[in-house]
Amino acid sequence: MASRTGIALGTNVGNRLANLREARNLLINLMPADTTYEQSGVYQSEPVDCPPESPDFYNAVIEIDFIGKPHDLLKATQGIEWKLGRTSSAVRNAPRPIDLDILYFDHFVMDEDILTLPHPRLTDRRFVLKPLLDIHPHLILPGDETTVGEHLRRLDSDETDPILIQTAW
């Protein structure tokens, strides 16, 4: 049986829109036949917790069906990152062609060294909540009692509001 999972996509190197499209298409290829996906618009946001002079990000969220375990999806998303040119860096949050984060995986709640679900900073990041709102404004994450829309309304952050770049991509 397939699990519904949300994945955040971010890019701030190269052709950002092309990077998002290619990552989205590779994620869609992970889905079982005859299933549907949802995607947010593309938002531009200022870098958060990144090195000085880092370029602005393009961010989006996609929700897909996935057959397998959360760690199988993590391995697949990391493979997509490497395929699209992400490399290891000693610098935390260095600019990158693609960053894929699993936001939620059905109703799984887990906290391990390599994977925490739901994503531990999801409700603290405007650049994640805003696109997630496009596809799931009433989503309540596993272990939570508040919708993502309410989390966004209550967010107390210096982060600037992401700018919608385009809805269809």
**pLDDT tens per residue across span 130-166:** 999 999 999 999 999 999 999 999 999 888 999 999 9
Residue type, 153: R
Residue type, 31: M
Instruction: Tell me the chain's radius of gyration from C-alpha atoms.
Output: 15
pTM greater than 0.75: yes
- For residue 48, how many other CB atoms are within 10 A of its CB? 18
Q: Number of structural domains, the chain?
A: 1
Nearest CA-CA partner of 132 in 108, 18, 124: 124
Identify the three-state secondary structure at position 49. coil
148 vs 137: CA distance, rounded Å: 6
Q: pLDDT digit string (tens) for 24-43?
A: 999 999 999 989 999 999 99
For residue 91, the model assigns a pLDDT of: 65
Q: Is the pLDDT of residue 120 over 70?
A: yes
For residue 52, the model assigns a pLDDT of: 82
pLDDT level of residue 90 (50, 70, 90 thresholds): low
What length is written for the chain? 169
Q: Is the pLDDT of residue 62 over 90?
A: yes
DSSP code per residue over 114-142: S-EES-TTGGG-HHHHHHHHHH-TT-B-T
Adjacent-strand bridge partners of 159: none
DSSP state of 13: S
Domain that holds residue 21: 3-166
For residue 1, the model assigns a pLDDT of: 83
